[in-house]
Structure 1
Amino acid sequence: MTTLTAAPLASLLDRLFEEADGTSPMAVPSIAAMSREDHERLMRSKTDYVEFYGRLKDLPLPVSRATGKLLYMLARGCGARTIVEFGTSFGISTIHLAAALRDNGGGRLITSEFEPSKVERARANLEAAGLADLVEIRTGDALRTLAVDLPDTVDLLLLDGAKALYPEILDLVENRLRPGAFVIADNADYSSDYLARVRSAAGGYLSLPFDEDVELSMRLG
């Protein structure tokens, strides 16, 4: 038995995933009206991400169930005590990571979300999960919120915000990643620069794709 599979967390995650399964970006008129080309452009844009994700503020946009379990397993298996997350949304991935911290004996998870309404939802979900004491949610653009006051050593980094910013967020955290630290990037296919960096033989990472669009990388010493 783990925190992840015990009450109240197991039923809470089931409910959150079921609610997420019932939503789609295509239910947002301004998104549904976009051409495929415009959607791709905004997903890859380093300047229009606030507008784009602002249109999706009422959608959870979670990691998959498989990725959630992967996050828990990696954080638990490496004995993580310090975790940084880019992109909180409704807190589903945050809950998986915080559950691992709880089962590791405690720690600190710093996560950043620019949409205030999502921050409130995430806080409520973390309270319901009994994990809020392990998590610091920073509201605002992660290029600023994650540029200050990070732990000296980071055991795991999750990238799940604006895809085009993955290289810039990695820049902010990279010198704090300990050897063997994991970096997980969701929907990484939208950031070719990021993939080229972590897959490069000279990039300082060992990296491979997982579950279609997740890139799992390990920081080398």
Structure 2
Amino acid sequence: MSDQNIVLGDPKVEAVLERLHHAADRQILQLVLHYLPQLPRLLLGQGIHWNPARTHFYRDKYIPIERDQGQLLYLLARAINAQTIVEFGTSYGVSTLYLAAAIRDNGQGKVIGTEIIPEKVIQARKYIAEAGLAEFVDLREGDALKTLQDIDGPIDLVLMDGYPHLALDILRLLHPQIRPGGLVISDNVGTFKTALNPYVEFLQAPINGYRSSTLALKGGTELSIKVG
């Protein structure tokens, strides 16, 4: 039995997740070839250069959280008894499944996800329904700066996994609603180091009300807690 099975304990959800993780794994060669010209930047620790004008490359790419990140999301959401989770960048719904499983196991609540690519929204909803978690997910299609404007009540956990150039704007939008003790978990802070540097600096500056640390998961996962 794998560690993932031990964490989630739901064969239906696990089966969908494994299928999606394997589909993402099959895209690794495309990603390697796409990023190969930026190998010197990676070797120098600068991360991949993010070009907002070339987001079309990501329209059919999974680029999901990895399995260990998903397990961490599930456990953290359970540990704080999260009832309202916001996800910036749903893609095909891999991370959504981990979060929705935690919401279900906590007894109530919603994952409010947002995804700008319509084709990904259709597929994500299909996978979420297949896993039996549709009632725990509110997936919104469109620009996150608009779809996340009307969230009521305190936010317990935020997953930031969308386009890097929007991360800080999204955080500032959600900041007033994130409760004290709420978590912000951010993917790709090592992969897109330069683009996400202002965002990480914001989280790591105590004056902004967070305590934050970069974890060695997927080249850099920022784990932050709102303390003020």
Instruction: State the partner residue of 1:127.
Output: 129
Offset from partner CA, 1:63-92 (integer Å, 9 cap, x none): 011110111011111000001100000000
Q: 1:27 to 1:89 in 2, by over 3 A?
A: same
Aligned equivalent of 2:206, options 191, 201, 205: 201
Secondary structure class of the residue paired with 1:58: coil
Unaligned runs of 5+ in 1: none
The two structures have a TM-score, normalised by structure 2, of: 0.85
Aligned equivalent of 2:28, options 24, 39, 47: 24
Offset from partner CA, 1:123-173 (integer Å, 9 cap, x none): 0110011001111111111111112x2022000000000012111000110
- Alpha carbons 2:7, 2:71 under 8 Å: kept: no
Aligned equivalent of 1:4, options 5, 8, 12: 8
Q: Give, as a single letter, the amino acid of the residue that structure 1 aligns with 2:27.
A: T
Instruction: State the partner residue of 1:110.
Output: 112
Q: 1:179 to 1:25 in 2, by over 3 A?
A: farther
Q: 1:58 to 1:25 in 2, by over 3 A?
A: farther
The percentage of counterpart residues that share the same residue type is: 39
Secondary structure class of the residue paired with 1:60: coil
Residues in 2 aligned to 1:180 and 1:89: alpha-carbon distance in whole angstroms: 27
> RMSD of the TM alignment (CA)?
2.2
Q: Give, as a single letter, the amino acid of the residue that structure 1 aligns with 2:223.
A: L
Secondary structure class of the residue paired with 2:145: helix
Tell me, yes or no, if structure 1 residue 218 matches structure 2 residue 210: no
- Alpha carbons 1:82, 1:154 under 8 Å: kept: yes
Unaligned runs of 5+ in 2: 42-46
Q: Report which stretch shifted further, 92-101 or 186-195.
A: 186-195
Q: How does 1:149-160 map to 2 (within 5 A)?
A: 149-160=150-161
Q: How does 1:29-108 map to 2 (within 5 A)?
A: 32=34, 35-36=37-38, 40-41=48-49, 43=50, 45=51, 48=52, 51-108=53-110
Q: CA deviation at 1:99?
A: 0.3
Q: Give, as a single letter, the amino acid of the residue that structure 1 aligns with 2:23.
A: E
Q: CA deviation at 1:203?
A: 2.1
Instruction: State the partner residue of 1:14.
Output: 18
The two structures have a TM-score, normalised by structure 1, of: 0.88
Q: CA deviation at 1:34?
A: 8.1
Q: 1:59 to 1:25 in 2, by over 3 A?
A: farther
Q: 1:187 to 1:157 in 2, by over 3 A?
A: same
Q: 1:178 to 1:184 in 2, by over 3 A?
A: same
- Alpha carbons 1:91, 1:126 under 8 Å: kept: yes
Secondary structure class of the residue paired with 1:209: strand
